[in-house]
A and B are shown apart, each in its own frame.
Chain A
Amino acid sequence: MNELSPIEAACGGPSLATLRRYDTGELAPADAARVQAHVDGCEACQAVLGDFSAERTAVRLEVPFSAIEARLPGGRALAKLRRFSLYLALPLIGAAAALFLVPRRTTNGEAPAIRRKGARLDYFVKTPAGVRPGNQFAGLRPGDRIRFRYDAERMKYVLIVGVDPDGKVSAYAASGDRSMRSAGPGLNLVPSAVTLDADPQPERVFALFSNEPIAVDEIVPAAKDALHEAHGDVTRVKHLPLARDVEQATVLLRRAP
């Protein structure tokens, strides 16, 4: 063994650095074609490219660009961002959630919805004492069951998501990982109820109304940005910075002291 002989993979193919340049499209066409020809027949190099792809997915979820953007000069002085994750609450609660009856009408003035352009969101709470309309000032307790109600105005789709102070986004009304079709004009209850866990953190819930479905994972960076604007205080997040034409309504879920 020559002590300083070049390093090679078992396949004798391109170096890892070259595979990286191939992966990012930096190679000249002739070089890229050569690498491609090798990779097509080489499992070891295919595995390397698979790792690259996995890292790309991981970084998109774990370190969204908004985390960097928030730290750019000229932005706010920002605390380091924590990881935020995305999970869909709906599949977890869907089957187990028993529907419950709610009053047909709520008393005026008690509706906790913050109205924006006519679209609205509110909710009902079922406790051992019965069902009552949701209210910002009467806190919620672990085990309470929440059911959202919305009015989509004339919009076709609705997506209801919650954002907690860690930037975690949960879907409460969705179709798979996107908006669901609105049930029609007027006030509509979402199909299933959510049971509150013991987490004492407040949660900001948005109903997003649109004419094209929105993917839940589009919401995650917007939620993060909004949280930053509000210095991490979900109670002050009133609006999600979404690019397209989306109407929004929001309520705050607060645990009882």
Chain B
Amino acid sequence: MDRQNLRQLYERYAGHVHGRCRYLLKDEEAARDAVQEVFLKALDHGDAFRNEAQPSTWLIRIATNYCLNVLRAQANKTRQAVREGRLEVAGPQALWSTDRAERRQLVRELLEQVDQETAAVAVHYFVDEMTQEEIGEIVGRSLPTVRKRLREFIDAASALAGEPPSTAVGR
């Protein structure tokens, strides 16, 4: 991929990448840096990109992983906030809210409770509204693994809301 290609890619997709970075990092300055990093990574993987049928999905995956990696380096603030009563987190049923904004916000609060792969799967599922099959494809995991990660995420939601982990695990 040359500079001209990268520029075209940038003009078309930078807004989406920026949106994802702002959502995950909650910090304008960090999001701006992240956008640059994501496109530099895209350039590194230019050959993979050329054959990509869904460039937006591909870039969003890179952006999500990059930001989750940044987040992991930060202290877990959500649990602290809950403990101190500054934050109340809804139970896992709210993850199925049909209100995009509400769902998005809850997922964001929970991300720091789980490992990076689980967080990525949860974002693609609950925020991007992708199917488990689609997620398995882009994260390179089997369907059972995707389900396992989703259950871990849901359990983290229960734990943070002070509910026992769900026993009625769906399939």
Contact = CB atoms under 8 A, between A and B. Distances in A.
A218 interface: no
Interface stretch (A7-15, A99-107, A132-140, A207-215): A7-15
A16 B127 contact: yes
Interface residues of A, number: 42
B143 to A, nearest CB: 11
B134 to A, nearest CB: 7
A4 B166 CA distance: 12
Contacts, number: 124
B97 to A, nearest CB: 9
Interface stretch (A62-70, A156-164, A176-184, A185-193): A62-70
Interface residues of B, number: 55
B33 A65 contact: no
A217 interface: no
Contact of A55 (B18, B29, B170): B18
Contact of B14 (A2, A18, A56): A56
Interface string B1-30: 001001100111111111100100000110
A220 to B, nearest CB: 15
Contacts of A108: none
Nearest to A15: B129
Interface in A65-113: 65, 67-69, 71-72, 80-81, 83
A17 B16 contact: no
Contacts of B54: 21, 26
A23 B98 contact: no
Contacts of A80: 33, 36
Nearest to B10: A65
A51 interface: yes
A69 B57 CA distance: 23
Contacts of B131: 6, 15
9 contacts: A3-B92, A10-B99, A17-B56, A17-B130, A21-B56, A55-B15, A55-B16, A68-B39, A68-B40
